Structure formats: C-alpha cells, structure tokens
C-alpha cells in the first residue's frame, strides 16, 4: 500500500485536506495519516476526513509540555516530525512512509518511486540541482546555505535498522534544538539533515526535477501547462510545494523576489487551481482557528520573546508546566515577578534589557536612578515590540513603580 503523512495545526486543515485529496486522486488505494500538532478544542469533532488523524498522545513525545511551550507553531510542528515518522514505522508497522509538508499538491502518480523506495532507507531532495543566478534576488545561494541543502517538506523512509537509528538521532536533536535562527545555524528540523548522508548509510539523494518544485528552484524548473497537464522540462510535474503561499496571489511566494507572474502564466494557473481547492476545503473558515499552544491557561497570549526566555532558563529552573499561571513557582509567575526587593523591575523586562545594547546605554543605572525611566519606556514599547498584553503588563509595572 502507498502511504503518506503530514503534520498540521488545525488552522492548516484545508491544506491537509487538499494534499491528501491530491494524493488519493493519483493513488486511490493509498493511506494518509495526519498528525495534529495542536489541540482540537472542539473544532474537528464534526468532520469526517479522507485521512486518519494521529494525536500527540499517540506518538510518545518525551517532555512534551516543554516542547509545546519552548517552540512556536512552526518549530513545534517540525520538531515532532521524527517522533511521528518513528511511530508510523515502529508502532504502526509500516514498511515505508512518505512525508509531505501540508502546502504541497501532488499532480502525478508516484508508482515508480514507491516501488524503488524499499531499496533505500532515507530519501531526500535537494533545494536546487543547478546554481542560482548571481542577481542579488531572493533566495540566493547563501540563503540555501542557511536553510539547508535539502528541503524537508519531503522525506521518504523505509523501515530499516539504519533508518530507525537516524530517527533516534534526529529525535534527540529536535527535543531542544528545533529553532528558527539561521544566523546561529538553526533552521528548525532541516539543517540537521545536512549531516544525514555522512552519518548514516542508505541515504538516497533524489534528483528528479519534477519532485518538490518550489520558488527556490523555478530558475531551473519552469512550469508549463501542456493540454491541461503540468510539466517540468517535458516531464509531468509530480508535486509542487507552495511554500510561502500568498492567498491573494499578489506574489509567487512571500519568501522570494526573483519571479513575477507576468513571466509565469502557466504557474499562475496552477496557483489559481490550488487556491480554489483550498477554498473548497474550508480555508476561509479554518485559517483563523487559534493555535492552542499560543496561550497560557488564563487565555493570555504567549509572547515570542517569552519562549526564548524559557529556553534560556527552563533547564535551570523548576517551573513545572509552563502553561499554568496560578502556580507560585511557575514560569508565568516568575516572568512578571520583581527581580529584587530593593530596586524591582519585572523579570521579563530584565531579560529584554540584557538583550538590548541601546537600552543599556540609555539606562545604565537600571538598579538606581534609571530604573523608573526604563519602566516608563517599557510601558509603551514592551507591548508594541514584544507582544505583551498591556492588560497584563501595566498592572505589573504599577506594582513596582514606587517600591
């Protein structure tokens, strides 16, 4: 049986439906699994899907409250990938599995690929097969150096000892190191896989240009519509990856500056078809569904900076479940607690201050004469620049102004 999987938060449900439908259109006897990297919160109970839902509790995540908190939606959805793949191969007993990012559309059968897959343990696709033009447009090759040689919107695995060893290694790395910080060498789950061909046997680099076509390789893979069939260099397009999709189709991708629709009318046709399918699959309704792990248990949104602070201190402090707000030793209480009794500022503000040379120069005596001025600055700019809810932030500041 041909099997595939993907991972979504619930706001990407329309993407999962569209991907799976395109897969089953070409492989009607196939099977699709979708991991919900989120909580359903009552949104998904009334829908019958063409795929099987898998939930986080099924895949055996260690430290999973920590993972949910320390990562944003993109980081978490990619951090769970090797756990999901390991579950499908080891627990569900699949002989092979192909993972697709949810923003992919399959446009041709993959019979030959699936037949050959058991020969390999791990199959990867490079971002590009020929050099990018040196035209200072995005993406440049240096961008691909930062994001990784291989695009992890697609990976195919067969159940072999070496594959399981790779998954164990990958799981251990992504527990705490699946962050989006290219300048520090991190691009969520992706950069790690640059090491795979050197560390593990049975890695196959799949160089078929009809696979994983996207904005980063359009310079070598022009999409042509020939009598209703999309082609790449005279061969049927296997699947297109709509990374950075802009739903109103005002641009090819939010991540690139090299291509415009005026020079790519056939590709625009493919995009219009794709957006139409998304709308039929509930995009207008589901795209705004909230991500459960973006909020503390009192409904306050978790600032992105708070996740960074948590990663910095989480291993050193005993915070317990970081989503809980009423626990006296919890992260929420600590974040808004005073740094000290004599010259208090909120711990969160202290963390901001320590990352900002401009603040350190403007307010050098943070525990003395500059303390009040720093807090006055923070009243406007911490909510504006760091996304802290003023309804929470203002009372915290007020409680410390005149101590």
As a whole number, mean pLDDT of residues 211-222 equals 98
276 and 368 in one domain?
no
- Which among 224, 253, 286 is the end of a domain? 286
102 and 33 in one domain?
yes
Position 282 confidence tier, pLDDT thresholds 50, 70, 90? very high
299 and 192 in one domain?
no
**Number of domains, the chain:** 2
As a whole number, mean pLDDT of residues 13-34 equals 98
163 and 14 in one domain?
yes
Question: 26 in a domain, yes or no?
Answer: yes
As a whole number, mean pLDDT of residues 31-60 equals 92
pLDDT of the residue at 286: 96
**Which ranges of 294-356 does DSSP label H, i.e. alpha helix?**
304-313, 331-335, 347-355
145 and 116 in one domain?
yes
Please say if the pLDDT value at position 360 is more than 60: yes
Compute CA distances 193 → 124, 147, 196, 200, 214, whole Å: 9, 11, 5, 10, 19
pLDDT of the residue at 300: 96
As a whole number, mean pLDDT of residues 178-206 equals 96
pTM above 0.85, yes or no: yes
The region of weakest confidence among 53-67, 94-108, 122-136 is 53-67
Q: Tell which wins on pLDDT, 53 or 63.
A: 53
As a whole number, mean pLDDT of residues 189-199 equals 97
- Chain mean pLDDT for the chain: 95
- CA 18/CA 235 separation, integer angstroms: 23
300 and 273 in one domain?
no
DSSP one-letter string for 30-99 = -EEEEEE-S--TTSSTT---SSEEEEGGGTT-TTHHHHHHHS-HHHHHHHTHHHHHHIIIIIS--SEEEE
- Which among 286, 321, 341 is the end of a domain? 286
175 and 77 in one domain?
yes
348 and 213 in one domain?
no
Question: 187 in a domain, yes or no?
Answer: yes
As a whole number, mean pLDDT of residues 18-22 equals 98
pLDDT of the residue at 316: 65
- CA 69/CA 108 separation, integer angstroms: 39
pLDDT of the residue at 303: 96
Contact 160, 166 (CB under 8 A): no
Question: 56 in a domain, yes or no?
Answer: yes
- Which among 286, 316, 332 is the end of a domain? 286
As a whole number, mean pLDDT of residues 340-366 equals 94
Percent of the chain with pLDDT over 90: 91
pLDDT of the residue at 202: 95
Position 403 confidence tier, pLDDT thresholds 50, 70, 90? low
Q: Give the torsion through C-alpha atoms of 42, 303, 75, 145, to 10 deg.
A: 150
354 and 252 in one domain?
no
- CA 246/CA 390 separation, integer angstroms: 31
Question: 255 in a domain, yes or no?
Answer: yes
Position 64 confidence tier, pLDDT thresholds 50, 70, 90? confident
CATH number at residue 27: 3.90.550.10
DSSP state of 140: P
Please say if the pLDDT value at position 50 is more than 70: yes
As a whole number, mean pLDDT of residues 96-120 equals 96
Question: 403 in a domain, yes or no?
Answer: no
Give the range of the structural domain holding residue 190, as residue numbers without chain letter: 3-286
Please say if the pLDDT value at position 315 is more than 70: no
Contact 68, 293 (CB under 8 A): yes
97 and 51 in one domain?
yes
Question: 112 in a domain, yes or no?
Answer: yes
Contacts of 288 (CB under 8 A, 6+ apart): 11
- CA 207/CA 125 separation, integer angstroms: 6
370 and 350 in one domain?
yes
181 and 88 in one domain?
yes
The region of weakest confidence among 42-51, 232-241, 300-309 is 42-51
Position 46 confidence tier, pLDDT thresholds 50, 70, 90? low
């Amino acid at each position: 049986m041909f099997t595939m999987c993907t991972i979504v938060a619930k706001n990407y449900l329309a993407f999962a439906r569209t991907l799976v439908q395109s897969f089953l259109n070409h492989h009607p006897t196939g099977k699709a699994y979708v991991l919900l990297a989120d909580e359903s919160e009552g949104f998904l109970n009334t829908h019958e899907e063409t795929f099987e839902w898998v939930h986080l509790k099924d895949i055996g995540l260690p430290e999973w409250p920590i993972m949910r908190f320390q990562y944003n939606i993109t980081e978490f959805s990619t951090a769970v990938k090797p756990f999901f793949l390991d579950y499908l191969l080891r627990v569900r007993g699949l002989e092979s599995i192909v993972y697709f990012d949810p923003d992919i559309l399959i446009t041709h059968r993959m019979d030959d690929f699936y037949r050959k897959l058991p020969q390999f343990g791990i199959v990867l696709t490079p971002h590009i097969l020929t050099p990018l033009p040196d035209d200072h447009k995005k993406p440049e090759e240096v961008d691909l150096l930062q994001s990784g040689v291989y695009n992890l919107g697609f990976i195919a695995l067969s159940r072999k000892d070496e594959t399981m060893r790779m998954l164990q290694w990958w799981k251990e790395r992504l527990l705490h190191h699946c962050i989006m910080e290219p300048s520090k060498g991190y691009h969520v789950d992706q950069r790690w896989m640059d090491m795979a061909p050197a560390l593990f046997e049975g890695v196959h680099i799949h160089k078929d240009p009809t696979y994983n076509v996207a904005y980063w390789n359009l310079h070598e893979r022009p999409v042509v519509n020939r009598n209703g069939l999309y082609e790449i260099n005279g061969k049927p397009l296997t699947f297109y990856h709509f990374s950075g999709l802009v739903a109103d189709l005002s641009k090819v991708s939010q991540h690139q500056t090299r291509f415009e629709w005026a020079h790519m009318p056939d590709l625009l046709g493919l995009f219009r078809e794709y957006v139409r399918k998304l709308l039929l699959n509930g995009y207008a309704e589901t795209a705004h569904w909230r991500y459960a792990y973006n909020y503390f248990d009192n409904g306050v949104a978790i600032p992105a900076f708070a996740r960074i602070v948590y990663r910095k201190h989480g291993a050193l402090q005993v915070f317990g479940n970081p989503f809980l707000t009423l626990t006296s030793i919890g992260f929420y209480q600590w974040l808004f607690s005073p740094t000290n009794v004599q010259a208090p500022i909120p711990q969160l503000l202290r963390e901001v201050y320590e990352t900002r040379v401009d603040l350190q120069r403007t307010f050098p005596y943070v525990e003395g004469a500059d303390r009040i001025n720093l807090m006055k600055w923070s009243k406007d700019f911490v909510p504006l620049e760091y996304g802290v809810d003023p309804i929470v932030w203002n009372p915290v500041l007020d409680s410390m102004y005149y101590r």
